[in-house]
Structure 1
């Protein structure tokens, strides 16, 4: 069989191993444009016409190149609807929600947004405005959107803060902390500042039991993000979810409802029951996530820290990843790399990070959490020496990373597969 590597695939050969393939049903694909237009016609909550006036300055926050989203199609549909509502094109700014990732180049924006690239600006996390606070979960775990006296500042980029109407596109896909991404997360994190990222991605929140892959209801990370979205004043979201077969659904309207509905669609399509434990798991990632080590390690942590860890104690996670950008070039990625590079061992790094860390280093925290119990080997990369600097193993090929005779689970699309307990 083949597993992803960059924009292509590599052939997987594991002679002498007992191999099981975790392939979700995948669901039934939809036509993105048609589904987006239907979603705008039948929104979850008030229609877009009730959310925007012709003279409004409109900010539309979109994801960056680390997400697999046909933003050009979603944006095209959204802009066509705004035109029908008499909103002039020159009143619209498309804000690329970078979070702490690196800015996108003009060429990348052209590829991602097509003829609408001229409207785009990269979010600048240093140019933000405070729009309110949310309650600190650590101070009051049952009230993540509690009184301002508990407050964590919610800061948002100037183009979003100054807009009369705030819209967003995005993808509802499995997310290590939020359960599923999308909704308010695209704006509050993507177009926000370090303050909210530092809080939501800090050890006090990430160590909580209900902060986990695939869980939306009762997830304090998700609740904090949604509360922040209310402070920002996100008026309308147009999101999709996808699986191995392609885009599975599109919804529009109020962010919380959009996420709930699309998460249910994704969960049905992406869940794979696991009945036993394995010696090794091969975690497929592929482009765009395997561009750098920061993103590619999601394949391993999604498997080991999901609903059902399929590995035996001491088992090995194997991630084929090209890594043309090395550890990553953004602020968060560099912090992640430095933390792993400078650590002596996973246990001491985990203990150190539990006392706190700067935004971006949360990925080092969850990687350290996994490395306390499992080995992680990255194969087929362009930078094996860098990988080995980061408490990880490196190998030329998947077969070199798996012991002969191993019981192996192959997850071809680890970022879009939910491993769950067999009922």
Structure 2
């Protein structure tokens, strides 16, 4: 009997799968990678050897307003380690710099003070300027141009008014942008809902290249990179993390060149051959990414890539924060089935994109091919069933339900951390 740990909230669940029914365990090699140095040293080394740009301390010289775009509460970016080193690097070149952290919430809810402290530590929250981006407030926005796809680039004034705009983040596979990190700090991170809606349109989400691990020809990535360059994002610090959310590699420098090098490394660790099975068990990597159903769709797409048509996906996600988006939730409560959701979305022109339709589109795509059982003891079960999924409070309960659907002799593939892999 194989005992496989599945990340869940701040702990894990255990999947007990008979050896003779286990097709495979798909796990990123990042989780077993031995870094060449400690976390802080990796970050320092990256800042000392930037790719395609001068050092950050050199870029900071003579600049008055410096803005650091930082990830929000939904991302496991180790800012407690990264931010102090970035501040030290900037101030070594410009001790008098006026520095502001701009929290890239994208379409998410606003980050709380408690979440900021958890992310940065008390010292930075107490002593540094922090602005939380609100994509829904037009009063803090300014239009700076057009996306290749035609949408307006409307971005937070704090970013535009910076003499030097930099960002921190992390690189992992992303289910429609190819990879996270780099240019995503700007779009969707600190742009208006107008720009997010233009970029996340139905045709782009359905595009064959808008998939995990794909950048070439990915229309969503092309828009995002253009927005970052238009916003004059001059320098990035991006890291790659393991299953314990520890830094194993760091890249710094040009928004395109440094990010691309990071994606090559991350991709090499994450790419795995599919092991088709009747039942696939996965997760959203635990806290903080499994706080809501909206984010849990990401883990489902990894399972989708290795689950047989008509099979069952079991997604372990605490979803203690509920559905994660009222509009996302309503797509399913107001439709009779997943096909109705998909039909409605695919008729929406790019210029009329509705909030959160992209996440609904991907969930509908998964539901059209598979039964989804969401394992959570922290979420209102009605929210889950309202969204046309089945619910179980425990993993053994979910597995029993799955076998009722797929058969008592159904075969399993386990993807312990669905957001860390590229399955194909």
Q: TM-score, normalised by structure 2?
A: 0.89
Q: SS at 1:103's partner residue? A: coil
Which residue is equivalent to 2:100? 93
Q: Distance in 2 between matches of 1:3 and 1:419?
A: 17
Which residue is equivalent to 1:415? 419
Q: Distance in 2 between matches of 1:310 and 1:132?
A: 40
Which residue is equivalent to 2:82? 74
Which residue is equivalent to 2:282? 283
Q: Report the alpha carbon displacement of residue 219 of structure 1 after superposing the two structures with TM.
A: 1.7
Q: Distance in 1 between matches of 2:347 and 2:39?
A: 44
Is 1:249 matched up with 2:267? no
Is 1:64 matched up with 2:72? yes
Q: Distance in 2 between matches of 1:51 and 1:359?
A: 37
Q: Report the alpha carbon displacement of residue 193 of structure 1 after superposing the two structures with TM.
A: 0.7
Q: CA RMSD in A?
A: 1.7
The answer to whether the 8 A contact 1:313-1:374 is kept is yes
Q: Distance in 1 between matches of 2:27 and 2:117?
A: 34
Structure 2 runs not aligned, ≥5 long: none
Residue 308 of structure 2 is aligned with which of 292, 307, 312?
Answer: 312
Q: Report the alpha carbon displacement of residue 70 of structure 1 after superposing the two structures with TM.
A: 0.6
Mapping of 1:4-403 within 5 angstroms? 4-14=7-17, 18-19=21-22, 20-26=24-30, 27-29=33-35, 30-47=37-54, 48-88=56-96, 91-114=98-121, 115-117=123-125, 118-125=128-135, 126=137, 127-136=140-149, 151-244=150-243, 246-274=246-274, 276-285=275-284, 286-304=286-304, 309-328=305-324, 333-356=325-348, 357-382=353-378, 383-401=380-398, 402-403=402-403
Q: Report the alpha carbon displacement of residue 31 of structure 1 after superposing the two structures with TM.
A: 2.2
Q: SS at 2:311's partner residue? A: strand
The answer to whether the 8 A contact 2:78-2:247 is kept is no
The answer to whether the 8 A contact 1:23-1:411 is kept is yes
Q: Distance in 2 between matches of 1:371 and 1:164?
A: 47
The answer to whether the 8 A contact 2:186-2:227 is kept is no
Q: Distance in 1 between matches of 2:7 and 2:92?
A: 41
Q: Report the alpha carbon displacement of residue 348 of structure 1 after superposing the two structures with TM.
A: 1.1
Q: SS at 2:186's partner residue? A: helix
The answer to whether the 8 A contact 1:17-1:405 is kept is no
Q: SS at 2:247's partner residue? A: strand
The answer to whether the 8 A contact 2:282-2:303 is kept is yes
Q: SS at 1:281's partner residue? A: strand
Q: Distance in 1 between matches of 2:13 and 2:63?
A: 52
The answer to whether the 8 A contact 1:267-1:418 is kept is yes
Q: Distance in 2 between matches of 1:257 and 1:33?
A: 22
Q: SS at 1:121's partner residue? A: strand
Q: Distance in 2 between matches of 1:400 and 1:376?
A: 13
Report the count of equivalent residues: 396
Q: Distance in 2 between matches of 1:228 and 1:400?
A: 46
Q: Report the alpha carbon displacement of residue 173 of structure 1 after superposing the two structures with TM.
A: 0.8
Q: Distance in 2 between matches of 1:8 and 1:269?
A: 23
Structure 1 runs not aligned, ≥5 long: 137-150
CA deviations on 1:338-370 (whole Å, 9 max, x unpaired) are 112222101111010112341322101110011
Q: Distance in 1 between matches of 2:393 and 2:236?
A: 43
